Amino acid sequence: MYEERASRLSGAVVWTNRPATQPVARPVLPDGCMDLLWSEGNLLVAGPDTRAYVPEGPSAFWSGIRFFPGTAPALLGVPAHELRNRRVQLADLWPARAARRLSDRIAAAPHPASALEALALERAEPPGAALRRLVSALAAGRPVAATADELGVGARQLYRHSLVAFGYGPKTLARILRLQRALALARSGVPCAETAARSGYADQAHLSRDVREFTGQTLGSLLR
């Protein structure tokens, strides 16, 4: 069973996923975010995805904190594009002693998710105003060129910044955020054609192509 709540760290989400009685591996869909994960003694980082990630192996208990888009690289000290579509041990990114100390701390905590949140509160910075404006504009469907102008940066500068912060360019981030907006509407019962129109797609076929590209599934199978 999956549960989540808003974190005390601005823009972040704390979550847990307990294995079901008859577990079925469900894909983790691209969302523009990066996560710090804990499972069975392992402290890992989930990089930014451009395709669905399907967990392998037996079902396990997971805890995590999902950071606001663009904020995790400053905490990790690694540009997001180096972690694109990857799950890596924190010890591969940080000095082994520092990673081991944090792993021991989380292992000793009664609630790993709360321990991850406490770690983030100590070490991570909340999203700044410029980052919030960028993500909000792209999430609302603003064109990338217009967003760059509003932020007072050039297109190339915005692209370079986005690679470091999000793991891909602003157009890819905008498409992923649009997909998440569409999925939220569809899951709430909005018909597919209306979902496409309200999310900024040219038509339902356009929505279907993006769903297939980013998730490897049809919209109908995701909704089921």
User: What confidence score (pLDDT) does residue 56 get?
Assistant: 79
Q: CA torsion 121→34→31→145, rounded to 10°?
A: 90
Q: What is the pLDDT of residue 58?
A: 77
- What does the pLDDT read at residue 22? 53
What tokens does 61 get? Answer: 């208990």
Q: Token digits for 126?
A: 């909340």
Give the pLDDT score at 26: 77
Q: How far apart are CA 197 and CA 205, in angstroms?
A: 11
**CA gap 65, 120 in Å, rounded:** 8
pLDDT for position 224: 82
- Between CA 198 and CA 158 the distance in angstroms is 26
- Report pLDDT for 128: 95
Between CA 119 and CA 133, with CA 114 as vertex, the angle to 5 degrees is 65
pLDDT in tens, the chain (224 residues): 889 999 999 999 999 998 875 556 678 999 999 999 999 999 999 999 999 998 877 788 999 999 999 999 999 999 999 999 999 999 999 999 999 999 999 999 999 999 999 999 999 999 999 999 999 999 999 999 999 999 999 999 999 999 999 999 999 999 999 999 999 999 999 999 999 999 999 999 999 999 999 999 999 999 88
This prediction has a pTM of 0.93
